[in-house]
Amino acid sequence: MKFRITLMGLLVLIISSVAGQEKIDPNFELYILIGQSNMAGRGVITPEEQLAGNPRVFMLDKDYHWILAKHPLHFDKPKAAGVGPGLAFGVAMAEANPNVTIGLVPCAVGGTSIELWQPGAYDKATKTHPYDDALTRIKEAMKSGTVKGILWHQGEGNSSVQKSKTYLMQLDTLVSRVRKEVGDPNVPFVVGELGRYRPQYALINTELAKVPGLIPVTGLVSSEGLVHKGDSTHLDATSANSLGRRFAEKMIEMQHPHK
């Protein structure tokens, strides 16, 4: 019955949008997913993963339609897209609060450095403008709900001694810019550590560890124990799901600090 009610509510949103009378549902909570391939997801989609989801967790697809969230959430590189942390995050958030519906806004683009996450930047590999395209998707999503949090997982593309030196400064700028666009200077922004399986990734993890102390209303989730799928770069499906649940735990902790 709850599933039927949720679908009916979503149908009303769609009809209102078509009629040019968009209504923001206060119980439709939006979460923005940005970063590179480990946010987009490269884990293998098994038959079990195909069944993952929750009737109160939706995703904004590539054509700006709200559909039930499923793997893969992202479409940055269709042939490579797989299991990422986003769906497990959304399910955990829905399970934590039965009174809300979750809207995931996937915007990650594999292979991108943080330099490509600024206005006007163009990614030749995917022929996209990562930041500008994300902003378009966010604005569309906000016609239906309210942004309650932002997840960031990126850094492999900046894991050199030289590039890591300016990483924190660029991330600070990105956080401020996105918060301004969503109209909430205090929306929780949670960053995830890179996998601990390449020595150079420690350079970025060292910078990420400074984020909570430097940028207000931010959190950090650990990658301890997470493993790659055999390529020393991308999380396997089990680890991606674990990371998603860690993102949810931190997000809930930040949203309800006194509980």
Statement: residue 2 has pLDDT above 70: no
Confidence bin at 246 (pLDDT 50/70/90): very high
For range 231-254, the mean pLDDT = 98
10, pLDDT greater than 70: no
d(CA 162, CA 227): 26
**215 CB-contact burial (10 Å; exposed 0-12 / middle 13-18 / buried 19+):** middle
pLDDT score, position 202: 97
Q: What is the pLDDT of residue 27?
A: 94
Average pLDDT over residues 73-94: 96
Phi and psi for 212 in degrees, rounded to 5?
Answer: -60, -30
pLDDT digits (tens, 9 = 90+) for 100-119: 999 999 999 999 999 999 99
Give me the domains of the chain, ranges plus CATH numbers.
Answer: 28-255 (3.40.50.1110)
pLDDT tier at 26, thresholds 50, 70, 90: confident
| pLDDT value, residue 23 | 78
Within 10 Å of residue 156's Cβ, how many Cβ atoms? 22
pLDDT tens for each residue of 189-241:
999 999 999 999 999 999 999 999 999 999 999 999 999 999 999 999 999 99
Q: Does the global pTM surpass 0.85?
A: yes
Question: What is the model's pLDDT at position 125?
Answer: 95
Tokens encoding 9: 């509510």
Residue 18 has pLDDT above 60, yes or no: no
Q: Given a cut of 50, is residue 5 above it in pLDDT?
A: no
Report the mean per-residue pLDDT for the chain. Answer: 92
Q: What average pLDDT does this structure show over 151-168? A: 97
